[in-house]
Amino acid sequence: MPNRFAQCLTGHTGVLGVIGDPIAHSLSPAMHNAALQALDKDYIYVPFAVSPLHVQEAVAGVKALGIKGINVTIPHKVAVIDYLDEVDPVAQLIGAVNTISNQAGRLIGYNTDGYGFLRSLQEEAGRDPEGQKVVLLGAGGAARAVGFQLALSKIQSLVVANRTESRALALAAEIHEQTGCPTVGSGLDSLDSHLSAADILINTTSLGMYPQITTVPPVEIEHLPPTALVCDIVYNPSETLLIQKAADSGRATLPGLGMLAYQGAAALELWLQVKAPIDVMKTALRMQLASQ
């Protein structure tokens, strides 16, 4: 079978990619290569399986090989920070980098995860974060990205609710201290007391994620205002049980695929200074998810 890249890869072709471990199931190559094709850019986006033992060499390799930019996924988002020339202030607050841009040999780290959620909230749900009261479920890496980004976006207040209460309290204190946004932490047992005032509820836990698709965060949907927006950053399945329950109750919903597409769009925009073709990227994600 002829190599399908034989005609299109030349000495001019630029390289982008993603490092992670494992990386085989990453949706990013399909999403980014579809975008690069739609933009008619002479670039290719490649998955790199990088063991935690080789993060430093991998980052040095980005510079040595003149790779224009990479995404960073689990488990390297924190470890890469030590090897960069500069880290964007938002990524510094979050304490994790998911995008590295090679700007004339200087490696600059960004975090577009929270920004991806923010863009999805604005563009897809039509919600301006300003003045909103937000309840965030979870206190892991995804909660940090979304929580800090929203706290920097003029929300009125934030509740971080987590199974392990101590993690919720620590993240809430850090967000409050670093951004000034009124933020409290809570265990899941006292989550219910925060629901009646919430404008936006966001699940950042893994509850509901494939293969545990019948699990759901312990939220009494009916205790949320009828106007509340229920968001889930889980994108596989495309509609989690939480999203289904919220939709059945008549509340507005925001599934996770948009955050994934917009975090990728933001990375592409940082690397190539282009407007990312968001619809092409979402379609590629849906097709890839359907074929897995």
Does residue 204 bind ligand ATR (CB under 6 A)? yes
In the bound complex, what is the minimum distance in angstroms from residue 171's beta carbon to ligand ATR? 9
Among 139, 151, 231, 281, binds ligand ATR (CB under 6 A): 139
Q: Which of 41, 68, 77, 282 is catalytic?
A: 77
Phi, psi of 172 (to 5 degrees): -60, -45
Q: Is 196 among the residues that bind ligand ATR (CB under 6 A)? A: no
**Which x/- pattern over 142-171 shows residues binding ligand ATR (rule: CB under 6 A)?**
xx------------------xxx--x----
The string over 36-57, giving b where at least 16 C-beta atoms fall within 10 Å of a residue's C-beta and e elsewhere, is beeeebebbbebbebeeebbee
Contact flag: residue 205 with ligand ATR (CB under 6 A): yes
DSSP state of 206: S
Residue 103 or 206 with smaller CB distance to ligand ATR:
206
Q: How far is the CB of 20 from ligand ATR (least distance, A)?
A: 13
Distance between CA 25 and CA 35 in Å, rounded? 18
How far, in whole angstroms, is CA 193 from its chain's centroid?
28
25 burial level (CB within 10 Å; 0-12, 13-18, 19+): exposed
Q: In the range 268-287, which residues lie near ligand ATR by CB under 6 A?
A: none
The answer to whether 275 is a known catalytic residue is no
Q: Is 223 in the site for ligand ATR (CB under 6 A)?
A: no
Residue showing the smallest CB distance to ligand ATR in the complex: 140
Strand partners, 43: 14
The reply on whether position 207 binds ligand ATR by CB under 6 A is yes
- Residues touching ligand ATR, count (CB under 6 A): 14
* Bridge partner list, 19: 48, 72
Piece of the chain touching ligand ATR by CB under 6 A; list 39-47, 109-117, 133-141, 245-253: 133-141
> What is d(CA 112, CA 266) in angstroms, rounded to the nearest whole number?
6
Distance of CA 258 to the CA centre of its chain: 9
Q: Please, what is the minimum distance in Å from the beta carbon of residue 102 to ligand ATR? A: 25
Q: Could you write out the DSSP letters of every residue in 235-272? A: -SSSS-HHHHHHHHTT-EEE-THHHHHHHHHHHHHHHH
- Binding segment (CB under 6 A) for ligand ATR, from list 35-43, 134-142, 254-262, 263-271: 134-142
- Kindly list the residues in this chain that would bind ligand ATR in the complex (CB under 6 A): 138-143, 162-164, 167, 204-207
